[in-house]
Structure 1
Amino acid sequence: MQRRTFLTGTLLGTALAAVPPHTSSSAGAAPAAAPVGSLADLQKAIDRAVPGDQIVLADGTYTVPSGGAIRVSGKHGTGDAPITVVAQSRGGVVLRGERGFVFSDASNITVRDFAFRQSTTLEIPASCTRIRLTRNDFGFTDAGAGFDWVVVRGDDVKIDRNRFHDKKTEGIFLVVDGPGPTAMAQRLNVFKNHFADHSFAGANGGEPIRLGVSGRALSSADAVVEYNLFERCDGDPEAISVKSSDNTIRYNTVRNSRGGIVLRHGNHSTVEGNYLIDGANGVRVYGNDHLVVNNYLGNLSDRALVIGSGTTRDHHPGETTEERRGNDACDRAVIVHNTLYGNAGTLSGESRDYEPQKVVIADNLLVGDTGSLVAMGRTTGFTWQSNILWGAASDGNVPSGGYRRIDPLLRKEPDGVHRLAAGSPAIGAATLGTPSVADDIDGHPRGSSRDIGADEYATAAPLRRPLTAADVGPNAS
C-alpha cells in the first residue's frame, strides 16, 4: 500500500526547502513534506492510520501531560506495509513527561528516530506483535527509584540501532519477559544497539539486557542478540543476563565493562563470536546443553570463563521459587574454539554442591601470565581435547593429555586482538569433529583443517572485528 504522510496545523502545505541531515524519509516512503506539529495532532494521525502510513512529528521538545500517553491501540500494519511513527529528523524530537508511547492490541508498528526522556517504562505488551523500535535515543530520567526502561512481552519484536545510555540507579535498559508467569516473548531480535554508561553501584539489578527471569528459565525464547556494543556497563556483573532457553548471543562486543555474558538460567543457548575486552567479567555458564564457540576474552580483571556449579542438578517444573532462583549446574556444554588472552582468571569452576558434568573443552587457546590457566572445582565426565596453554601462568589442574604447552605465536593487531601468526602450531591442529564450526570469530571460513582458538589464520582482512560506536546506534548502517 502506498504510504501517506499526515499534515496538520500551520505546517499544512509548507514543503521542506531541503532534506535535513539524518532525515526520517527513506527509500520507498513519501517525502516528509510537512509533519504534524503537536502531540494532539500526532494522536489523531495515529488513530486514523492504515497500513503503509508514515506519520512524522515535527522536531522539538514535547512534554506528555501527567497521566497522558501517545497511544497506539488497535492499529495493525502489515509485514510489507507497517505503520511508521517517526521524528522529523533523527533525534530531533525529544519526548519528556511520565509516559511516551503506550501500545495495546497492535502489530507491525515502527517507532523511529525519537529521543526518549520519560520517567516510566516503555512496554510492548503480549497483545502486540512485530513492533519495531529503531534508531531511537533512550536516556530516561533517573530521578527516584530505579526502573526498567524498555520491557518486551510481545512476540517478533525488533530492537535495533538504538542508543541506551547514562543510567545511575537500579534498573535494566532492556528486559524481555512474556505473558503470564512462565512464558517468554518469542523471536526477539536485538541488533546494532549501543548500550553505554550504566553506573549503578549495587551488586545486582543493573544489567543492560536481561532475557527472562528465574521463573521463565525453562521456556524457550529463541531470541537473537547480535552485533551490539556494550561500553562502561558497570551496573551489574552481567551485561547480558540470560534467564530463559534456546537463545543466541553472537557477534557482540563488551568493552571496558564490569558486566559479562552470563547464561544464568535455562538450556540450549549459544554464545558465539563475541569480543569481551578490557573489562572485568567474561562468560559464565549454567544449565544444560549450551554451545560456547569462537569467543575472544581478553585482558579481563576478574574471571574470564566460568563453568558453573549448582545448588541443584537441573531446574524442573514444580520447583519452589527459592529452588528456581538457585544455580543449575552446567551439564553437557560444548566449549570450543575460544581464545582467552591475558586475563586475571582464565578458566575456572566453582564449589557448590552439584558439580558440572560431561562438558567438552576442546580446541581452545589459553594464554596468561598470572595465577593458573585452569582452576576448575570438582567435575564429572569432562572431555579435554587439543587445547593449547601458554604464558607465565601455571597450567593449573587441567588433566594431562587434554592440552599442549606450546607458544601459539600470536600477533597483536591494530584492533587490539591477538591473532595467529604464520607458522603457529595452532594452525590445522583442531580435532573436535562435532559440532561443525563453519567460520571463525572474524568471519573467515574454517574449512576442513581447523585452527585452535577463536581465530582461523588468514591473510585476508577480518570480516568481523570488535565493534566501535560508529558500527552501532542510530546512525549505523
Structure 2
Amino acid sequence: MRKILLAALLLVQTVGCSGSDFTIPDPVTPPAPEKPEEPEKPVVQPVKYVASAAELKALGTLAAGTVVVWRDGSYADVQAELRGAGTAENPVQLRAETPGGVRFTGKSRLNLAGEHLVVSGLWWRDPVPVGGKAVVTFAKGSAACVLRDCAITGDNTPEDAATDTKWVSLYGSENSVVECTFRDKRNIGCLLVVWLETGTTPRHRIAGNSFSRPVSLYGSDGKAINGQETIRIGTSDFSMQQAACTVEENYFYHCHGEQAEIVSNKSCGNLYRRNLFVECRGTLTMRHGNGCTVTGNYFFGNGMDGTGGVRLIGEDHTVEYNYFEGLAGTGYRTAICLVRGQQSPALSGYFQVKNAQVRNNTIFDCKYAFNVNYASSGSDQVMPVVGTTIADNTVVSSMVACAATPAPQIAWRDNVLYDCKQSGLTLPAATSAPAKPDVAAAVEAIRSGAGCAWKTE
C-alpha cells in the first residue's frame, strides 16, 4: 500500500512538471474582516480662561473640543459672544469656573453663534432691560447649541410695562434650553421665544427648566397687558409653518404674566409632554397653528382663581393623558377649552377647531372640566367645533359645558362623569366614584428635577 501511494505522488509531480494544465491551486486566503468605524475621539484642547467679553472675543472662532472657563466673580454690562464650530462628540464649551459663581448684572447679555456650543453654570441677576435685546440669544444659523444649568433671575428689578425684552431668543435649529432656572421677569415681553424663519424647521428642545413669573403688568384699563407669556413658539405670521419643537418636563409655578397664555403656541407640530403647572393663572394655549400634541402633563390650581389647563384653536390637535385638579378658571381658562372660530380669520385671528382628539384625560374638582364650542359674548367667533372626538375621559365633581349654538360636530364617547353638572348636553353619569389616581411620585419627579443644580437664592 505504501508503494502505491508513493507512486501516485511521483505521477502527480511528473504531470505538473510536463507543462500540463493540471496544477495544484494555491490555498484561498479569506478577506480580512472590515473594521468597524471608530467613533470620533475627543479632541483635547488646552483650557482657556477668560474674565471679560474682550478676552472671549480675542479667542476668535473656537475649534471643536475647546473649553473656555469664565472665572468666578460679578460682572456688569458684559456683552459677550461665543463663536465656534463644535461637533456632537467635541462641542465648544463655555462654563463658569464654579456653577453659579459667574454673576452677570446690568445690561449683560450673551450671543451664541455657531454649531454645537454648550454654555453652562452662568447666572444673570436682575438684568436691566434693553429694548429689542434678549439676555441670551441663539443667533440665526445656530445649530445644536445648548444653554444648560444656567439662571436668569429678576427678583430685585422694578416693574416695567414700557421696555419690551425677552430673556431667551431662539433662532436656528435643534438648539436646546435645559435644566435652567428662570424666575421673576418683571418687564413686558415674553420670557422665552422661538422665532421661526422661512425654510427652517427649528426642532428646538426646552426641557427640565423651572419657570416662575408671578408679577402681572396692567394697563390703564385695569387688564393684564398682552405679551407676558412665559414661552411662545412662533408668531402669527409664521403660524402655519412647521416648528416641531419639544417642551417637556418643565415646572411652571405662579406663571401669571398676562393671565391668559402661560405658553402660547403659534406654529405647527409641537409636542408638550410631561410638564407640571402649579397655581398658574392662564392656560397652555394652542393660539395659532395645527397638529400639536399635549400629552401627560399635570395641572394643579389648588383653588386659585383664574387657573386653567389647555385651550384649543385650530386643526388636528391631540390632548391626551393629562391630569387636571383644582382649577378654578372659567371662560377660556378652564381645564379643557375648545374655542369657536371666526369665519375668515386673519393669521392673527381665531381659526376653527377641526379634527381634535381629546381622550384619556383625568379631571378632578375643577370649576369647569370642559368648556366646548366657547366664545366670549359679542364676539364674531361663529364657526363651531367640528370633526372632534372627546372620549374615555374621567371627570369628577366638575362642570361639563358645551354651547349648542352654532351646533358643534362632536363625538362624546365612553367618558366617565361622576358628580358633575352639565350645560348644553346630557351625557350618561356614573353612579360610583372612580378611584383618584396617585400622581404624587410623577409630579415630584418633574418638580425636583427642574431647574439648575445649584442654588439661586
Assess same fold via TM > 0.5: yes
Q: Which residue of 1 aligns with 2:238?
A: 216
Cα 1:77–1:214 shift into 2, 3 Å: same
Q: Which residue of 2 aligns with 1:36?
A: 50
- Of the candidates 269, 280, 295, which is equivalent to residue 246 of structure 1? 269
Cα 1:169–1:100 shift into 2, 3 Å: closer
Report deviation, 1:405.
Answer: 2.4
Report deviation, 1:175.
Answer: 0.4
Q: Name the count of aligned residue pairs.
A: 381
Cα 1:250–1:272 shift into 2, 3 Å: same
Q: TM-score with structure 1 length normalisation?
A: 0.75
1:194 matched to 2:173: no
Q: TM-score with structure 2 length normalisation?
A: 0.78
Secondary structure (helix, strand or coil) at the match of 1:40 reads helix
Secondary structure (helix, strand or coil) at the match of 2:55 reads helix
1:4 matched to 2:45: yes
1:165 matched to 2:188: no
Report deviation, 1:199.
Answer: 1.2
1:310 matched to 2:323: no
Q: Which residue of 2 aligns with 1:14?
A: none
> For 1:340 and 1:397, how far apart are their aligned partners in 2?
19
CA contact (8 A) 2:61 2:85 kept: no
Q: Which residue of 2 aligns with 1:103?
A: 112
CA contact (8 A) 1:307 1:330 kept: yes
- Alpha-carbon displacement from aligned partner over 1:438-474 (angstroms, at most 9, x marks no partner): xxxxxxxxxxxxxxxxxxxxxxxx6x33555421111
User: Counterparts of 1:76-91 in structure 2 under 5 Å?
Assistant: 76-91=85-100
Q: Which residue of 2 aligns with 1:24?
A: none
Q: Which residue of 1 aligns with 2:414?
A: 386
> For 1:150 and 1:92, how far apart are their aligned partners in 2?
20
Report deviation, 1:143.
Answer: 6.5
Q: Which residue of 1 aligns with 2:289?
A: 266
CA contact (8 A) 1:198 1:208 kept: no
Q: Which residue of 2 aligns with 1:473?
A: 451
Secondary structure (helix, strand or coil) at the match of 1:231 reads strand
- Alpha-carbon displacement from aligned partner over 1:61-89 (angstroms, at most 9, x marks no partner): 11235xxx21224x210111110000011
- Of the candidates 324, 347, 361, which is equivalent to residue 390 of structure 2? 361
Cα 1:253–1:53 shift into 2, 3 Å: same
CA contact (8 A) 1:199 1:234 kept: yes
Cα 1:357–1:184 shift into 2, 3 Å: farther
- Alpha-carbon displacement from aligned partner over 1:218-248 (angstroms, at most 9, x marks no partner): 0000000000000000102211110100010
Q: Which amino acid aligns with 1:60?
A: G
Report deviation, 1:101.
Answer: 1.5
Q: Which residue of 1 aligns with 2:366?
A: 343
- Alpha-carbon displacement from aligned partner over 1:11-59 (angstroms, at most 9, x marks no partner): xxxxxxxxxxxxxxxxxxxxxxxx43444333334x2631011111111
Q: Which residue of 1 aligns with 2:403?
A: 376
> For 2:414 and 2:320, how far apart are their aligned partners in 1?
15
> For 1:197 and 1:175, how far apart are their aligned partners in 2?
15
Q: Which residue of 1 aligns with 2:220?
A: none
Secondary structure (helix, strand or coil) at the match of 1:353 reads strand
- Of the candidates 254, 257, 280, which is equivalent to residue 235 of structure 1? 257
| Runs (4+) off by over 6 Å | none
Cα 1:146–1:164 shift into 2, 3 Å: same
CA contact (8 A) 1:109 1:130 kept: yes
- Alpha-carbon displacement from aligned partner over 1:238-278 (angstroms, at most 9, x marks no partner): 11110100010010000011122111111110000000101
Cα 1:42–1:466 shift into 2, 3 Å: same
Cα 1:179–1:99 shift into 2, 3 Å: farther
Q: Which residue of 1 aligns with 2:144?
A: 130
CA contact (8 A) 2:270 2:293 kept: yes
> For 1:213 and 1:341, how far apart are their aligned partners in 2?
33
Percent identity between the two aligned chains: 24
Report deviation, 1:377.
Answer: 4.4
Q: Which residue of 1 aligns with 2:13?
A: none
Q: Which residue of 1 aligns with 2:23?
A: none
> For 1:184 and 1:346, how far apart are their aligned partners in 2?
37
> For 2:51 and 2:257, how far apart are their aligned partners in 1?
38
> For 1:126 and 1:48, how far apart are their aligned partners in 2?
16
CA contact (8 A) 1:70 1:100 kept: yes
CA contact (8 A) 2:118 2:147 kept: yes
- Alpha-carbon displacement from aligned partner over 1:347-405 (angstroms, at most 9, x marks no partner): 11214211110110000011125xx32333434321110001111x42333344xx442
Report deviation, 1:167.
Answer: 1.4
Secondary structure (helix, strand or coil) at the match of 2:197 reads coil
Please provide the CA RMSD for this pair: 2.2
User: Counterparts of 1:175-186 in structure 2 under 5 Å?
Assistant: 175-179=193-197, 185-186=201-202
Unaligned runs of 5+ in 1: 8-34, 316-322, 416-461
Q: Which amino acid aligns with 2:213?
A: D
> For 2:202 and 2:77, how far apart are their aligned partners in 1?
31
Q: Which amino acid aligns with 1:345?
A: Y
Q: Which residue of 2 aligns with 1:288?
A: 315
Secondary structure (helix, strand or coil) at the match of 2:145 reads strand
CA contact (8 A) 2:231 2:263 kept: yes
> For 2:170 and 2:404, how far apart are their aligned partners in 1?
37
Q: Which amino acid aligns with 2:62?
A: A
Bigger Rg, structure 1 or 2: 2
> For 2:275 and 2:227, how far apart are their aligned partners in 1?
21
Unaligned runs of 5+ in 2: 1-41, 218-223, 376-380
Secondary structure (helix, strand or coil) at the match of 2:62 reads coil
CA contact (8 A) 2:250 2:446 kept: no
Secondary structure (helix, strand or coil) at the match of 2:54 reads helix
Q: Which amino acid aligns with 1:189?
A: R
Q: Which residue of 1 aligns with 2:228?
A: 206
